Amino acid sequence: MTYDNVTVGTSAGAASTTAQPGWYPDPSDAILQRYWDGIAWAPVSHPRSLSPYPAGPYLHTVPVEGMSFVQAVKSVLTQYVGFSGRARRSEYWWFSLFEGIVTLVVLVGAVCVALIISLPALSSPTEAGIITTGTVMTTAVLLADLVLLSMFLPTLAVSVRRLHDTGRSGWFYLISLVPFGGIVLLVFMCEDSVRGPNQYGPSPKYV
């Protein structure tokens, strides 16, 4: 298959000695585009840009779809401890919003339960009532902590995949443990993705 006098393989995995790495129309579906690494096609296709292609044989276009809130939450939770692969910014930030909402609801719920249970003891304090109220309040706080702790692994996993998407090792997450490291990590999470496949996998479908 030839584009602007550059020949590429006509099927996934086909070899070519003349094509340079770049984005080309998918040989199996002209509506899509696929990355040619100089030897074989990438395993994942992407939607073609709605704008005209740049001049030349390379189609340096990027995925045009972003994950929705529901898609992002579902993707992260179904990869609860999935530390391999890549995650786009939309996946990471939508899940961060979800985590913030869950945290707020759990904390507010724990406080409300504690206050409601403590009202009888405050109106007619007795030693038994105070002990019971204290036990229930402690239990509510512990349950809230468990809910928040259950969010740690998926949050860590999507953070590692987001670092992979920027071309960095997941170990860069540990930079958050040093002073001002959290700010540096935040900058990393805001960075755009590496175009095309990298050492951590093919480019994700979504932006």
- Domain of residue 127, residue span: 69-158
Measured between alpha carbons, how far is residue 166 from residues 64, 75, 104, 138 in Å? 18, 19, 30, 42
- pTM over 0.75? The answer is no
Whether 42 and 73 share a structural domain = no
Q: What is the mean pLDDT of residues 9-33?
A: 62
CB contact at 8 A, 154 and 95: yes
Say whether both 79 and 150 belong to one domain. Answer: yes
**pLDDT for residue 33 is more than 50:** yes
Structure letter (DSSP) for residue 174:
G
Measured CA to CA, the distance from residue 44 to residue 176 in angstroms comes to 33
The number of folded domains in the chain is 2
pLDDT tens string 163-196 = 999 999 999 999 999 999 999 999 999 998 887 7
Segment 99-145, tens digit of pLDDT: 889 888 887 887 787 777 766 655 655 554 555 566 766 776 777 77
φ and ψ at 65, to 5 degrees? -105, 145
